[in-house]
């Protein structure tokens, strides 16, 4: 049923922003990150590895439960809390920029104003369904009712956030600022780090503060004006962070490894291997030894996380974009709206093409669930369908129409009870559940 209606940010900003401190701090000292069942889809790539997989056993027979418009476009994937609460960001005439909906009914729980650039920031959820989201020159945390907990200033707009192994919040903006914030108060836990080089103030004494949203339009394609276009992956055991960085004037983007440990964030290695930039979120293997990333020369690349040396590369027929689904046993399913459904198997030193479905044109992010079941939105006929497929063979198990949907979707999220949620770029949410 249908219900209801170029980034040039400079390093000197880090000191100025840090001096501002936390604007508000209404948190507590109680650690709540493990509260709840720990399931749902709390981040764009499900967790810090960006694996695009879930331990929930996916249903092979879904049906549409509800759909509803948000009132504005949607750029980033939806997220789902452990109790089934859905979160998206948008930009609307009603000045609502973050929305939350109930899974069972689609009823809106809250919407809050944040600012025009919040649409570019994905949401991140902890186990108590507190939500963390970026906005113009800041990071905000709200509780599950939409009540503000704290807000901390940053330079730029957070393009992605992750939780660290010690329960803090890793924040990286599109301008290349890296911060680790205390999850309860927003306080900076380490000195701010910049991924772009520091300018020479003797040569540029009148350098202006660039707009917070500078370069965000280039982030979707990994263009030259967006320094950090992707959501970083993090190995919470080792503290390693993997980000893509495109410096001003460079034709290639670098894959950069940082480490958060001992009260600081340091760079371990950098490899300029991403031709024409990258708009593909890096994804880690289950053992943390291999990182997968795509670039705009139509390559899917596997690298050794120890030093960034390539293990192998696969030439695709399209530019991989956004997420890469990587199962614990190394089955890799890349996304890209100009591509089709395909699965590769990592063999260690190379890869094998397991299967491909050239008849299924991708219009969203493929995800994998326990039980060998996957989901993806595909263009079928003149519209869009949510396709349920067998991850071992690629065979279609179920196909459900997204009524009236057009264009493409921003992501695929799987709830704790196996519900599947997708959101279209034009601004509509669709929720599916197992057939009764």
- pLDDT tens, residue by residue, 199-227: 655 666 666 667 899 999 999 999 999 99
Residue pLDDT, tens place only, 306-315: 999 999 999 9
Residue of 118, 78, 76 whose CA lies nearest to 98: 118
> Is 412 part of any domain?
yes
| Structure confidence at residue 38 as a pLDDT band (50, 70, 90) | low
In this prediction, residue 5 carries a pLDDT of: 38
> Is 73 part of any domain?
yes
Give the C-alpha separation, 235 to 353, whole Å.
27
Contact 136, 157 (CB under 8 A): yes
> Is 145 part of any domain?
yes
| Average pLDDT over every residue of 283-311 | 97
> Is 425 part of any domain?
yes
| Average pLDDT over every residue of 364-393 | 97
Half-sphere exposure of 44 (CA within 13 A, CB side): 31
CATH number for 68? 2.130.10.10
- Tell me the C-alpha to C-alpha distance, in Å, between residue 91 and each of 28, 119, 306, 412, 435: 30, 6, 40, 20, 33
Contact 238, 216 (CB under 8 A): no
Q: Which domain holds residue 252?
A: 12-25+34-201+210-434
In this prediction, residue 206 carries a pLDDT of: 66
> Is 394 part of any domain?
yes
Residue pLDDT, tens place only, 126-135: 999 999 999 9
> Is 6 part of any domain?
no
> Is 5 part of any domain?
no
Domains in the chain, number: 1
Residue pLDDT, tens place only, 79-131: 999 999 999 999 999 889 999 999 999 999 999 999 999 999 999 999 999 99
Mean pLDDT score of the chain: 91
> Is 114 part of any domain?
yes
């Amino acid at each position: 049923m249908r219900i209801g209606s170029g980034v040039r940010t400079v390093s000197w900003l880090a000191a100025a922003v840090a001096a501002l401190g936390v604007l508000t701090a209404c948190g507590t000292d109680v650690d709540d990150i493990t509260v709840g069942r720990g399931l749902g889809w709390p981040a764009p790539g499900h967790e810090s590895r960006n694996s695009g997989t879930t331990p929930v056993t996916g249903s092979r027979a879904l049906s549409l439960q509800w759909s509803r418009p948000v009132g504005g476009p949607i750029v980033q994937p939806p997220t789902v809390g452990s109790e089934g609460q859905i979160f998206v960001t948008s930009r609307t005439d009603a000045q609502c920029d973050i929305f939350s909906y109930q899974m069972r009914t689609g009823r809106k729980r809250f919407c809050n104003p944040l600012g025009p650039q919040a649409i570019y920031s994905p949401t991140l959820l902890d186990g108590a369904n507190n939500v963390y989201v970026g906005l113009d020159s800041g990071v905000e945390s709200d509780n599950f009712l939409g009540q503000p907990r704290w807000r901390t200033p940053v330079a730029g707009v957070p393009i992605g956030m992750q939780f660290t192994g010690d329960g803090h919040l890793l924040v990286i903006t599109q301008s290349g600022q890296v911060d680790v914030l205390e999850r309860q108060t927003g306080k900076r836990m380490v000195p701010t780090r910049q991924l772009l080089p520091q300018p020479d103030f003797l040569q540029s004494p009148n350098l202006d503060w660039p707009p917070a949203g500078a370069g965000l339009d280039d982030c979707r394609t990994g263009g030259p004006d967006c320094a950090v276009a992707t959501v970083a992956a993090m190995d919470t055991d080792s503290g390693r962070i993997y980000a893509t960085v495109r410096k001003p004037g460079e034709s290639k983007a670098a894959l950069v490894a940082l480490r958060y440990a001992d009260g600081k964030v340091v760079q371990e290695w950098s490899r300029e291997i991403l031709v024409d930039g990258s708009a593909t979120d890096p994804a880690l293997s289950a053992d943390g030894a291999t990182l997968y990333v795509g670039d705009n020369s139509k390559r899917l690349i596997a690298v050794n996380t120890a030093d960034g040396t390539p293990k192998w590369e696969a030439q695709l027929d399209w530019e991989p974009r956004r997420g890469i689904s990587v199962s614990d046993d190394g089955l890799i399913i890349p996304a890209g709206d100009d591509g089709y459904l395909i699965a590769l198997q990592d063999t260690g030193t190379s890869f094998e093409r397991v299967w491909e479905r050239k008849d299924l044109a991708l219009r969203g992010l493929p995800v994998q669930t326990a039980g060998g079941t996957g989901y993806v939105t595909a263009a079928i006929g003149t519209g869009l369908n949510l396709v349920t497929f067998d991850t071992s063979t690629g065979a279609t198990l179920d196909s459900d129409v997204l009524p009236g949907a057009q264009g493409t979707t921003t992501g695929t999220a799987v709830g704790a009870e196996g519900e599947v949620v997708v959101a279209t770029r034009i601004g509509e949410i669709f929720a599916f559940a197992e057939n009764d």
